[in-house]
Amino acid sequence: MEREKIIAALETAFAEISGAEYEDEPETFAEFLESFKKFRDPDFPVYWIPWTIEEAVEALTGRKFGWHEDAFKDEWNYTGEFGFVCVDPETFRCLTAERTDDERCTVSVVFPILSIDDAVKAVEYFLQLVQ
Amino acid sequence: MQLGQQTFADEQIKQAIEEVWQELLQEADAEDYSLEEYLEHYRKYWNDPEFPNDIPEIIMRAVEKLIGKSLAWYCELVRDPSGFTGEYSFIVVDPQTRKCLTYRQFTFDGVNVHYFLSVAGTVIYYEDIIRLVIKLLDQIQSALADAQNAALQAPRR
């Protein structure tokens, strides 16, 4: 899928998620990520980031999924890494589960999301996963 | 054939937890101290990033021991702005089928479907560990039984 289409889906999703908070000049998702990269402080509405990714994936595929997201934190700040678990609600199959080389099974995927490029990569990963 | 769920007495669960605790001590080559002692430190230092939080490992290994099956799992340590809340959120997957065993769907109005992906609980005292193990056992066994019943009822060629 073209990058422009993914960015448009991300911006639409972000506007919906953050919309109520802004009145005059709404911040774009790309700008929001830039501020997050600079400050990463604990008061930041950090979960807007994974929610935006998830909404964009659902909008682009026209399907709903079960999601769990985790914003990783070190002792002071958010690290900029996010853990995601994605489940297909029709089959209950965990789409992010992966067998490892040592025959174990992991449940989540982790992405650093500190820029719009990182966000596009995460969406591309999920699109490939659900198709 | 309807497959049922095995129920466990609190004593059985406590025994499994104690066995797991001994395994963890051995693996870490640590001196012998009780889980109760560990929990005293845990209550004091759970927000210290250097404190080793073994609670998820204890809970899931006990669950695996009791049901006799290896599971894939993810655990979130739930935090609010002031730090760790003491709450754990577990997502459990059957590594063979990759089915999410903690996934539940529900609807309030018959139209909008909501879901839970995880089983969560707060751990402060020993009894909380037992309670969370029971909660996970109930959910996981029920999901495994549903999957087996669905497989038995599926039309065969």
> Do the Cβ atoms of A95 and A86 come closer than 8 Å?
yes
Of the pLDDT bands very low, low, confident and very high (cuts 50, 70, 90), residue A119 is very high
pLDDT for A21 = 54
Higher-scoring residue by pLDDT: A113, B79: A113
- Beta strands of chain A (E only): which ranges? 66-73, 78-87, 98-99, 105-106, 109-112
pLDDT for A95 = 97
Mean pLDDT of chain B: 90
pLDDT for B58 = 98
Query: For A38-95, what is each residue's pLDDT tens digit?
Result: 887 777 889 999 999 999 999 999 999 999 999 998 777 889 999 999 999 999 999 9
Q: Which of B79, B89, B98 sits opposite A73 (nearest CB)?
A: B79
Higher-scoring residue by pLDDT: B31, A58: A58
Q: Residue holding tokens 């769990």?
A: A68
What is the mean pLDDT of the segment spanning B36-49?
92
Q: Which of A42, A75, A94 sits opposite B98 (nearest CB)?
A: A94
Q: Is the pLDDT of residue B145 over 60?
A: yes
Query: For A10-33, what is each residue's pLDDT tens digit?
Result: 999 999 998 755 556 778 999 999
Q: Under an 8 A CB cutoff, do A108 and B91 touch?
A: yes
* Residue B65 parent element (H or E): helix B55-67
Query: For B63-109, what is each residue's pLDDT tens digit?
Result: 999 999 999 999 999 988 778 899 999 999 999 999 999 999 888 89
ipTM, two decimals, is 0.85
* Residue of chain A with shortest Cα separation from B83: A75
Cα dihedral A81/A101/A99/B56 (nearest 10): -60
Structure tokens given for A45: 């509405």
β partners of residue B113: B107
Mutate to test the interface with A, among B78, B82, B90, B93 (most CBs of A within 10 A): B93
pLDDT for A126 = 97
Dihedral sign of CA atoms B23, B27, B33, B35 in order: negative
* Residue of chain B with shortest Cα separation from A96: B98
- For residue B75, what are the CA distances in angstroms to A68, B30, B38, B88? 11, 24, 20, 7
Q: Under an 8 A CB cutoff, do A87 and B74 touch?
A: no
Q: Is the pLDDT of residue B12 over 60?
A: yes
